[in-house]
Amino acid sequence: MTKSSTAAGGASGAGVPVRDTPPVDLKRFIVDVPDFPRSGILFRDITPLLCTRFAATLDALERLFDEREWSEIDALAGIESRGFVLAAGLAARRGKGFVPIRKQGKLPPPVVSAAYALEYGSGVLEMQRGGGEVLLIDDVLATGGTLRASAELCGSAGYRVRGLAVLIDLRLIGEFTWNHMPLRSVIRYD
């Protein structure tokens, strides 16, 4: 498989395609931020990871799906906001479309909406109608509310979800599945 990524993690070798880059310990680039966004929450900050090892992060996410699965999809649906970064990067690499799933009021109408619960609140997600086969991508799975609502929303908007992936599974809810489809993750906190 030819990849359009650069050497893992840096400007040295920028623009030089790599093949089958060796796995990098991505977890060590994630910073724990206690009591953010509110007291009692331990936030896993992926900003340092994306800043220093973005290509390696995309490599790891890309490897979660085999070539047959990649050939059967039309687009990657990314959940606002860090899921956008990951899904858009993968879509560009694989020559696929990108479909944004946004917080309420961020997309022009007409949109389809779905309410969801977070570990520290609730909200509404929206996306525009469309069609085709998609992989659904987000950065972190905590309670599963956002991912579950996004998968349902994709169906309501006319898309068929063919796979679910996150960069980090916090393992707060055990094994996450949606419609008998297992979640794939790069990093797990057990």
Q: With left for phi above 0 and alpha for psi between -120 and 50, is residue 90 left, alpha or beta?
A: alpha
d(CA 142, CA 66) in angstroms, rounded, equals 25
Query: Which candidate in 53, 82, 93, 94 is catalytic?
Result: 82
Q: Is 82 a catalytic residue?
A: yes
Q: Which residues pair with 33 in a beta bridge?
A: 43
Query: Which candidate in 119, 129, 160, 188 is catalytic?
Result: 119
d(CA 181, CA 7) in angstroms, rounded, equals 32
Q: Which residues pair with 183 in a beta bridge?
A: 164
Q: With left for phi above 0 and alpha for psi between -120 and 50, is residue 20 left, alpha or beta?
A: left
The answer to whether residues 183 and 135 touch, using CB atoms and an 8 Å cutoff, is no
Q: Is 67 a catalytic residue?
A: no
| Angle, vertex CA 141, rays to CA 136 and CA 142, nearest 5 | 150
Active site residues: 82, 119
